Homo-oligomer: A and B are copies of this chain.
Amino acid sequence: MPKQVEFFYDFTSPTAYLAWRRLPAIAQRTGAIITYRPMFLGGVMQTTGNRPPGTLPQKGKWMAADLQRWAKKYNTPFQFNPHFPMMTLMVQRAAQEWVDRPDFEKYLAAIFTAAWQDQKNIADKAVLAEVLTGAGLSADDFFAAAENPANKEKLKAVTDEAVARGVFGAPTFFVQTPDGEEMHFGQDRLDFVEDALSRE
């Protein structure tokens, strides 16, 4: 069985976006596969009592500068989204269906790019339809998936599983190592993720 890193993310998280940009190269270097776990960050926050960093104005101000520094460090195109925090129930419900499709990575790239490069409001149906169509994906498929009760249930189940395993924010990574399961929180912990994946 190949090594894997589970990537719990939500499109509303700028640090999940930064992690998504770096993760494929890490997986390639370590011979691991990425298992995408789209969760609903709002639910995680509510259940665990966590708050977005920007709830504190002083922390929000530092974080805005810090995100730009990380983007620069890894040459990642990045613009903060004026619509943040975006309501992601629609995109994350649809993701439950897309996650098993061959064009999932195209879906992931379309939404992450819209949110964190192009400053689009990914909670807006008209905007989403344009983004998906522009990426060669079916907007009709998307809205059907987003409204499918089975996908609502799946999103709830993934979110509950995340919290049960210790997740309190995004992005969060799990790696199975010889010493047991390791959980890492934050795009700024990707070096630890790579270390864990590199261990025999």
**Closest residue on chain B to residue A60 by CB atoms:** B168
Which residues of the partner chain B approach A59 to less than 8 Å between Cβ atoms? 48, 50, 168-169, 185
Bitwise, A92-124 to B at CB < 8 A (1) or not (0) is 000000000000000000000000000000000
Q: How far is the CB of A172 from chain B (nearest CB, A)?
A: 9
Interface membership of A125, Cβ < 8 A = no
* CB pair B61 A50 closer than 8 Å: no
Which residues of the partner chain B approach A185 to less than 8 Å between Cβ atoms? 59, 62, 66
Within 8 A of B (CB), among A26-67: 48-50, 55-56, 58-59, 61-62, 65-66
Number of copies: 2
A65 to B192, CA, bound (A): 12
* CB pair A56 B62 closer than 8 Å: no
Which residue of B49, B66, B167, B183 is within 8 Å of A189 (Cβ)? B66
Bitwise, A158-200 to B at CB < 8 A (1) or not (0) is 0000010011110000000000001111001100100000000
Which residues of the partner chain B approach A167 to less than 8 Å between Cβ atoms? 58
Which residues of the partner chain B approach A56 to less than 8 Å between Cβ atoms? 48-50, 168
A55 to B69, CA, bound (A): 28
* CB pair A168 B50 closer than 8 Å: no
A167 to B62, CA, bound (A): 9
Which residue of B62, B184, B192 is within 8 Å of A168 (Cβ)? B62
* CB pair B166 A61 closer than 8 Å: yes
Which residues of the partner chain B approach A66 to less than 8 Å between Cβ atoms? 184-185, 189, 192
Which residues of the partner chain B approach A169 to less than 8 Å between Cβ atoms? 59
* CB pair B188 A62 closer than 8 Å: no
Q: Other CB < 8 Å A-B pairs besides A48-B58, A48-B59, A66-B189, 16 of them?
A: A48-B56, A49-B55, A49-B56, A50-B56, A50-B58, A50-B59, A58-B163, A58-B166, A58-B168, A59-B185, A61-B166, A62-B183, A65-B182, A65-B183, A66-B192, A188-B188
